[in-house]
Amino acid sequence: MSESTVAVSFDVYRFQPGKDAAPRYQRYTLDLTPHTPVLTGLLRIRDEVDPSLGLRYSCRSAICGSCAMQINSKSRLACETQVGPEMARHGRIVVEPMRNQPVMRDLVVDQTPFWREYSKIEPHLKLDPRRPMPADRPTPMTPVEVERFKETPRCIACAACYSACPAAEADPAFPGPMALAKLYRFAVDPRDTAHQERLLRIQPNGLWLCLRCHLCTEACPKDVRPSERIRDLKEMAIAAQGATELGSKHAYGFKENLKGAGQINEMKLVRATFGLTGMVGQIGQGIRVWRKKPEIMKKPRKIEGMEELDQIYAALDPPPKEGP
Amino acid sequence: MLRHEVVVVGAGLAGQRAALAAVEAGRDVAIVTKLHPLRSHSGAAQGGINAAIGPNDSIDAHTYDTVKGSDYLGDQDAIEFFCREAGPTVIEMEHFGTIFTRAEDGTLAQRPFGGAGFPRTVYAADRTGLALLQGLWERLGSERFTLYEEWELARIVVRDGRVQGIVALNRRTGEIQDVAAKAVVIATGGAGRIYGRTTNAHSCTGDGMAVAYRAGAFLKDMEFVQFHPTALLEGGILVTEGARGEGGILKNATGERFMSRYAPKVLELASRDVVARAITTEILEGRGFTGPYGPYVHLELMHLGKEKIESRLQEICDLCRSFAGLDPVTTPIPISPAQHYMMGGVGTNIQGETNIPGLYAAGEAACVSIHGANRLGGNSLMETLVFGKSAGAAAAAYAAKAAASSIGPADVEAVSATFRGWTSRKDGEDPSALRAELQQTMDRYVNIFRTEADLAEGLKRVRAIKERFSRVHVVDQSKVFNLNLSDAIETEHMIDLAEAIIVGGYARTESRGAHFRTDYPKRDDAKWMKHTLAQYGPTGPTLSYLPVTMTRWEPKERVY
Amino acid sequence: MKIAYYPGCLAQESAKELDMATRYVCRTLGIELVEFPNFSCCGSGFIDEANEALNIAINARNLAIAEKAGLDMLTICSTCQGMLNLAKVRMQDPKVRARVDGALKPLGIEYKGTVQVKHLLKVITEDIGLPAVKAKVRRPLHGMKVGAFYGCHLLRPADELQSESGEEPHSFEDLLAAVGATPVDYRGRVMCCGFPILFVKPSTANAIAGRQILDAKAHGADAMATPCPLCHTSLDAYQNKASKAVDSPLDMPVFHLPQVIALAFGATPQEIGLSRHLVRTDGAIAKVSASPTA
């Protein structure tokens, strides 16, 4: 039994900087079966209706990473996104270029910022001449060590995560999910001899700007789960070097903070994060909020069963590291 | 004007490996590529890379398997070299940082593959191409070279009997740019998009092969086109041979494991041409399933269990779920053969040299020949690295001694004028329509089972398409990312290559490996132990022949 | 229905108004809140960054408390919701389970993984159901355009949390419509409020918050409403900073989810602590058309 087609309306972003005054959306309507990929629809538009549409594509099987774009505001691979569910949810398919990367033409973006962040984390094995690899055989690596990479080897550098990331959007100091997931990949590679150095470098260079909003993990077509690897990096960094940045001080401070009462002591946390002198900068806002919400200065109620929490900490939270 | 000592065209595994070799030899190297290197089709390879590194395996065994797999058309000296280099090559890739699947004892895991008498296919789940591409790109990233990204090759300039450089279209700006070079390495991959049903990416349009061909390089063994037995029905997305290597089996519509009739000893792990013909025969004889997307048979993985499938065959698990709407853990996968690889290509020797001084080729774009009439799975990934290195090193050595090359505005103008002709036309032929017709023609007339009549008809149609291409009309006038212009450039290349395939296939009155003539169903060693060479001419290719090099193995009947 | 009430730290302290409104709404809908003085903070995502095993153990303990009482858990904070469910998911990994059990068992705490953790949004829209909610509406909020702001941890990672959708939920908008308000669609509704980096790089956090508020405003919202008091802090208490960061006046009132429902049920501003907000809410309330239907 043949699948029947439905009318699919594409609203495609068209813009050529330097040539067009402003972006516009062009509508194309095609009859397609519901499981047809958006990419197939766009290629048919090129072949049958409008050969001037600019987009990147190659493998059509979710391995080359070329066709990442925004589809109804979600950063996705066009080859892997089907028209049926999009039409059912939105009544049309709005196709736009990826975010956080300047538009070159229509759906084609300049990926320079994305590749630059990738290069900055030094994505290659760093070897120590004093510890050379065995010349005539592969470096031994157990399945357990391979497990530690989690899914980071599946990354196809499509930039969907980078496009979806609100931190990358707001702050050029944030390396973006792909670069950080790639850093994780090297930080757990037993052949790399620079784990500590990598963690040391990334702490003041944007690691703690991750919002852990998980939009990257939603966008990723290969289940790399960058936000979860970034979390791992954060824990690894604190374990290796202690809390050296505001971000790590805050996380570490929060953890320590619960030891008091089992609930958060807001004042104490602000002090742990900023230090006594750093707190000065928070005074203005602090007073402003305190006027409406005086509880921010109060010590929290101590929970019942606090001894249980104390024991859990003793069992699972090793003593703090003595600085780098 | 841009000038480098060695220009590598293509940034997949072969191109990158060639560039690395040339950089390590101290040359000024540039890579010209129409895709970002990590988007190259090398990354779509799934199943694995062959090397006889296991303690109970031997280089001789790998060599013999490859010779037999080639249906005795492979040059045995080249194959011996290739298999000798395989072990050190895979170790080198591991040292570069490639993340492979490991055995419990920490060594590289190896899986059985088609046509191999021993499990020697090293793998990274079912994304081995991606793993190698990442490892090599990461290694190359620490070296100094120039990358011209999203540039399309238009011409190789040959003058005074040697390579002078290339002319390319910068897709991002629309500029036609010349690059002077002493040596050029073609590593642009295959040309699967000549066919409508292919596992290949849209970018696989044989640009390097075609441009080299027009520049005077011989194409070798073009008629040998590999059809991979197992591709998803709609769209032809590849399902790795590794699925069969892990124990997957093929069944026809009567529930029969039919490979027992075609390859009684190794069943699903026979060489690809044998399996592809078996499936096609089952379908032609009415034992296939039928459906809206064409006839098919089943590839069954369910008996392997969820854990094995989801760890060793993770990518195809996802592919089936995303693109075929089914879960291979619980459901058989409908598959049928699709074009996959070109055994043929720019003719080279073991050093990657072509018949033009200064011009080299490696990878799928080249034909050495190690695959002969049929390639074994897992040998292509290895080919890119072994011959990428050879060609890069040879190109570098040549460039070190060669005099300065000379290329100029006239070379650029020749290309610009052609493109202007296409874009300034008021009316004419649509390049994507011509391409679609070409694809339909190849699918129908130049497929797994070939006849004289079909090949003649196919040639007639391709030549008609070629004639219409002379009136090709590019509508988009833009300079930036003009894919309409790219369509035309690529279609022209594909027409040339299609013609070479058909002419070679028509002339070869025997069946060998992937080239099967129902009118000449037997292999004819007496007449055909030779490679087909095709030389470009404006009215079509001129064929000549080169004997196969044999060292230790006499041709035998090929049974699996 | 009877449910274990997990208010989270903020609702007990600086976001008391959230607790007030929650109790009002639950009273009206017949949800009996059972309190547990031994619940601890969920770690707010920060402890998870510092020590994953500890974070899971702390929350497994919280889950076990409700389990022992034979009750599901009600959360009123997107972040608490995310953290408690994260613990459930991680505890399915045998290695994690073994490690955490190693710390809990000696304390006589037996985690079984049977408890359901539901945010108030889900309890109202699924367990109670919108028709029952509509039946309690005394003052339909006709005329008030509200931009829902879900909060990341309520939605993502969608596969782990089994949330309604990672990027395309609609339950909050359905609820707003059920109480008579006009839900506003805008991209920012599923984005981040910036709170996790508010004490890491305030300028960026403020810019992010400001961007989402501007987005809601550009799409016509009179007010925003959120199921997360951390988002509320970023969007309301720090709105002055957000406004500076995007160099634009915002003047966007931000409600807690149950406050909107409570208003529709007939609550006065005093009953739901609206005077505690940093951004005045009376402007939005004034948008509600004068004649209520009984």
DSSP string, A183-241: HHHHHT-TT-S-HHHHHHHHGGGTGGG-----HHHHH-TT---HHHHHHHHHHHHHHHH
B10: left (phi over 0), alpha (psi -120 to 50) or beta: left
Would you call C89 an interface residue with chain A, using a CB distance cutoff of 8 Å?
no
| Mean pLDDT (whole number) for A260-283 | 86
What is the per-residue pLDDT for A260?
86
Instruction: Kindly list the partner chains of chain A, i.e. chains with 3 or more CB atom pairs below 8 Å.
Output: B, C
Task: With CB atoms and an 8 Å threshold, state whether A156 touches B99.
Answer: no
Q: A268 pLDDT band (50/70/90 cuts)?
A: confident
List pLDDT tens digits, range B132-152.
999 999 999 999 999 999 999
* Same domain for A259 and A233: no
Backbone φ and ψ for B228, nearest 5 degrees, come out as -75, 135
| Mean pLDDT (whole number) for C150-160 | 97
Task: With CB atoms and an 8 Å threshold, state whether A300 touches C9.
Answer: yes
Contact C208, C194 (CB under 8 A): yes
The continuous run of DSSP H or E covering B194 comes out as none
Would you call A6 an interface residue with chain B, using a CB distance cutoff of 8 Å?
no
- CA dist C169 and B126 (Å) reads 34
Would you call A19 an interface residue with chain B, using a CB distance cutoff of 8 Å?
yes
* Same domain for A214 and A143: yes
* Same domain for A148 and A254: no
* Same domain for C161 and C201: yes
* Same domain for A42 and A18: yes
Instruction: Please indicate, yes or no, if residue A1 is contained in any of the structural domains.
Output: no
Strand order of the β-sheet with B333-342 is B225-232, B333-342, B297-300, B249-251
Task: Chain B: give the shortest CA distance to residue A248, in Å.
Answer: 30
What is the per-residue pLDDT for A1?
41
List pLDDT tens digits, range C190-206.
999 999 999 999 999 99
What is the per-residue pLDDT for A320?
61
The continuous run of DSSP H or E covering B186 comes out as strand B176-186
What is the per-residue pLDDT for A270?
84
Instruction: Provide the CATH topology of domain B410-547.
Output: Methane Monooxygenase Hydroxylase; Chain G, domain 1 (1.20.58)
pLDDT at A324 over 90: no
Domain boundary among A91, A107, A123: A107
Would you call B11 an interface residue with chain A, using a CB distance cutoff of 8 Å?
no
Half-sphere exposure of C56 (CA within 13 A, CB side): 23
- Which one of B95, B128, B171 would you mutate to disrupt binding with A, by most A Cβ within 10 Å of its Cβ? B95
* Same domain for A222 and A116: yes
Question: What are the residues facing B110 on neighbouring strands?
Answer: B122
Instruction: Please indicate, yes or no, if residue A324 is contained in any of the structural domains.
Output: no
* Same domain for A274 and A228: no
Task: With CB atoms and an 8 Å threshold, state whether B43 touches A63.
Answer: yes
The continuous run of DSSP H or E covering B515 comes out as none
Domain of residue C88 covers 2-118
Would you call A61 an interface residue with chain B, using a CB distance cutoff of 8 Å?
yes
According to DSSP, residue A72 is labeled T
Task: With CB atoms and an 8 Å threshold, state whether A16 touches B134.
Answer: no
Instruction: Please indicate, yes or no, if residue C204 is contained in any of the structural domains.
Output: yes
Would you call A108 an interface residue with chain B, using a CB distance cutoff of 8 Å?
yes
What is the per-residue pLDDT for A275?
84
Task: With CB atoms and an 8 Å threshold, state whether C158 touches A246.
Answer: no
CA distance readout (Å), A312 to A248, A318, C40, C113: 21, 11, 12, 18
What is the per-residue pLDDT for A131?
85
Domain of residue A286 covers 246-316
Amino acid at C224: M
- CA dist A253 and A256 (Å) reads 5
- CA dist B355 and B368 (Å) reads 12
Q: Which of these, B297, B362, B382, lies nearest to B120 by C-alpha position?
A: B382
**What would the DSSP string read from start to end of chain C?**
-EEEEE-HHHHHTTTHHHHHHHHHHHHHHTPEEEE-TT-----TTHHHHH-HHHHHHHHHHHHHHHHHTT--EEE--HHHHHHHHHHHHHTTSHHHHHHHHHHHGGGT----S---EEEHHHIIIIIIIHHHHHHT-SS--TT-EEEE---HHHHSSHHHHT-S-SS---HHHHHHHHTT-EE---GGGGS--SGGGTTT-HHHHHHHHHHHHHHHHHTT-SEEEES-HHHHIIIIITHHHHHHHTTS-----EEEHHHHHHHHHT--TGGGTGGG-SS--HHHHHTS-S----
Contact C87, C60 (CB under 8 A): yes
Task: Chain A: give the shortest CA distance to residue C275, in Å.
Answer: 8
According to DSSP, residue A65 is labeled -
Would you call B143 an interface residue with chain A, using a CB distance cutoff of 8 Å?
no
pLDDT at A2 over 80: no
Touch criterion met for B and C (3+ Cβ pairs within 8 Å):
no
Number of A to B CB contacts under 8 A, please give it.
150
If you measure CA to CA, which chain B residue comes closest to A66?
B39
* Same domain for C82 and C157: no
- Which one of B122, B228, B323, B485 would you mutate to disrupt binding with A, by most A Cβ within 10 Å of its Cβ? B323
According to DSSP, residue B159 is labeled E
Q: Domain tally for chain C?
A: 2
* Same domain for C95 and C59: yes
Contact C143, C288 (CB under 8 A): yes
Q: What are the chain C neighbours of A303 within 8 Å (beta carbons)?
A: 37-40
- Which one of A76, A218, A269 would you mutate to disrupt binding with C, by most C Cβ within 10 Å of its Cβ? A218
Instruction: Please indicate, yes or no, if residue C292 is contained in any of the structural domains.
Output: no
pLDDT at C292 over 60: no
Which residue bears the tokens 């493998």?
A59
A-proximal residues of B, 45-74, CB under 8 Å: none
Q: What six digits make up the tokens of C49?
A: 């960054």
Select from B91, B138, B315 the Cβ nearest to the Cβ of A137: B91
Select from A218, A232, A248 the Cβ nearest to the Cβ of C156: A218
Task: With CB atoms and an 8 Å threshold, state whether B436 touches A47.
Answer: yes
- CA dist C44 and A318 (Å) reads 20
* Same domain for C110 and C53: yes
Select from A58, A63, A136 the Cβ nearest to the Cβ of B130: A63
Q: What six digits make up the tokens of B102?
A: 């490991």
A-proximal residues of B, 291-330, CB under 8 Å: 292, 314-315, 318-319, 322-323, 325
- CA dist B57 and C57 (Å) reads 50
Task: Chain A: give the shortest CA distance to residue C17, in Å.
Answer: 10
Select from A170, A292, A309 the Cβ nearest to the Cβ of C204: A170
CATH of the domain at A129: 1.10.1060.10
pTM value is 0.96
Q: What is the CATH number of domain B225-340?
A: 3.90.700.10
Task: With CB atoms and an 8 Å threshold, state whether B106 touches A141.
Answer: yes
Touch criterion met for B and A (3+ Cβ pairs within 8 Å):
yes
- CA dist B235 and A70 (Å) reads 23
Would you call B272 an interface residue with chain A, using a CB distance cutoff of 8 Å?
no
What is the per-residue pLDDT for A266?
87
* Same domain for C281 and C148: yes
- Which one of C10, C12, C13 would you mutate to disrupt binding with A, by most A Cβ within 10 Å of its Cβ? C13
Instruction: Calculate the average pLDDT of chain B.
Output: 97
Q: Which of these, A2, A60, A68, lies nearest to B319 by C-alpha position?
A: A60
- Which one of C35, C40, C44, C235 would you mutate to disrupt binding with A, by most A Cβ within 10 Å of its Cβ? C40
According to DSSP, residue B289 is labeled B
* Same domain for A285 and A217: no
**What would the DSSP string read from start to end of B92-129?**
HHHHHT----B-TTSSBPEE--TT-SS--EE-STT-HH
CA distance readout (Å), C240 to A170, A288, B57, C13, C236: 18, 10, 72, 21, 8
CATH of the domain at A23: 3.10.20.30
* Same domain for A100 and A135: no
ipTM of the complex: 0.95
Kindly tell me the number of DSSP H helices and DSSP E strands found in chain A.
Answer: 14, 7
Would you call A51 an interface residue with chain B, using a CB distance cutoff of 8 Å?
yes
* Same domain for C110 and C140: no
Exposure string for B93-103, b = 16+ CB within 10 A, e = fewer: bbbbbbbbbbe
Would you call C103 an interface residue with chain A, using a CB distance cutoff of 8 Å?
yes
Report the percent of chain B where pLDDT is more than 90: 95
Would you call A271 an interface residue with chain B, using a CB distance cutoff of 8 Å?
no
Instruction: Please indicate, yes or no, if residue A271 is contained in any of the structural domains.
Output: yes
| Mean pLDDT (whole number) for A17-24 | 96
pLDDT at C5 over 80: yes
Q: What six digits make up the tokens of C258?
A: 């149950």
* Same domain for C59 and C23: yes
Q: A273 pLDDT band (50/70/90 cuts)?
A: confident
Q: What six digits make up the tokens of B437?
A: 């017709």
Instruction: Please indicate, yes or no, if residue C216 is contained in any of the structural domains.
Output: yes
Q: Which of these, B478, B288, B371, lies nearest to A52 by C-alpha position?
A: B478
What is the per-residue pLDDT for C7?
98
Least confident of B110-114, B485-489, C186-190, C235-239: B110-114
Instruction: Please indicate, yes or no, if residue A234 is contained in any of the structural domains.
Output: yes
pLDDT at B424 over 90: yes
- CA dist B87 and A317 (Å) reads 46
* Same domain for A64 and A118: no
Q: Which of B171, B272, B277, B375 is catalytic?
A: B272
A-proximal residues of C, 174-203, CB under 8 Å: 187, 191-192, 194, 196-197, 199-201
- CA dist C222 and C285 (Å) reads 9
Bond before C157 cis per omega within 30 degrees: yes
**Domain ranges for chain B:** 225-340, 410-547
* Same domain for C114 and C154: no
Q: What are the chain C neighbours of A316 within 8 Å (beta carbons)?
A: 51, 53-54, 57, 99-100, 103
Residues present in chain C in total: 294
Long-range pairs of A249-256 with CB within 8 A, sequence gap ≥ 24: A249/A273, A249/A274, A250/C46, A250/C199, A250/C200, A251/C46, A251/C47, A251/C49, A251/C50, A252/A320, A252/C50, A254/C43, A254/C44, A254/C46, A254/C47, A254/C50, A255/A317, A255/C43, A255/C46, A255/C47, A255/C50, A255/C51, A255/C54
* Same domain for C280 and C229: yes
Instruction: Please indicate, yes or no, if residue A321 is contained in any of the structural domains.
Output: no
List pLDDT tens digits, range B190-236.
999 999 999 999 999 999 999 999 999 999 999 999 999 999 998 89
Which residue bears the tokens 């020949």?
B369
Q: Domain tally for chain A?
A: 3
Residues present in chain A in total: 324
Select from A74, A252, A289 the Cβ nearest to the Cβ of C237: A289
Q: What are the chain C neighbours of A231 within 8 Å (beta carbons)?
A: 48-49, 52
pLDDT at B472 over 60: yes
Q: What are the chain A neighbours of C13 within 8 Å (beta carbons)?
A: 263-264, 266, 295-296, 298, 300
Domain boundary among C89, C118, C147: C118
Q: Which of these, B491, B558, B421, lies nearest to B70 by C-alpha position?
A: B558
Instruction: Please indicate, yes or no, if residue A279 is contained in any of the structural domains.
Output: yes
Q: Establish whether B272 is a catalytic residue.
A: yes
Task: With CB atoms and an 8 Å threshold, state whether A263 touches C40.
Answer: yes
Q: Which of these, A14, A166, A12, lies nearest to A103 by C-alpha position?
A: A14
Q: Which of these, B367, B73, B343, lies nearest to B217 by C-alpha position?
A: B367
Q: Is A242 helix (H, G, I), strand (E, B) or coil?
A: coil
Task: With CB atoms and an 8 Å threshold, state whether B141 touches A123.
Answer: yes
Q: Is B560 helix (H, G, I), strand (E, B) or coil?
A: coil
Q: What are the chain A neighbours of B481 within 8 Å (beta carbons)?
A: 54, 104-106, 108
| Mean pLDDT (whole number) for B266-286 | 95
Select from A74, A227, A254 the Cβ nearest to the Cβ of C44: A254
Task: Chain B: give the shortest CA distance to residue A214, in Å.
Answer: 21
| Mean pLDDT (whole number) for B377-406 | 97
Would you call B403 an interface residue with chain A, using a CB distance cutoff of 8 Å?
no
